[in-house]
Amino acid sequence: IKMGAWSHEPFGNDTACDWKSELEGSTDYEVIEQAFDQMIEDDDEYLDADYGSVVHAAAEVLAKVLGQGTQNESYPEGIDEWIATLTSKPSAALLQKAVVALDLLLSEESELNELWEESGEDYPLWKENIATLKEILIAG
């Protein structure tokens, strides 16, 4: 895989791990929401793989906030600590945005989807992870 990824999991790539420091610098869901907004606002063009990786990681953080994270490999340090500082649960509107962004991540316009498809064997696992995240977020 040519994309700085070592796993199909949300934090299994360099981009998501870099984004984590941005998350840790924040005190609420704003950074997460920005990730989804960026993807949704750009949905009329080719969706950059880096945006996609961030959306995947952001959705995972929300799932973890809901007590249902999907990441099996160890979380990058600091995420649990960040979650512990939150004073509220994610809003229904934010969860809805997350689902829309994840749908875009699996669309034909998504560069990340294309890269995973080309990479072959882990593609089904990657798609399955996103489907699981969507279910968790839809259930809220």
The tens digit of pLDDT for each residue in 67-96 reads: 999 998 878 889 999 999 999 999 999 999
Query: Mean pLDDT per segment of 10 residues, for the chain of length 140 residues?
Result: 79 94 94 95 83 97 96 86 94 97 95 93 94 97
pTM reported for the whole predicted model: 0.94
Burial 24-48 (b: 16+ CB within 10 A, else e): beeeebebbbebbeebeeeeeeebb
- b or e along 102-119 (b: 16 or more beta carbons within 10 Å of the residue's beta carbon)? bebbbeeebbbbebbeee
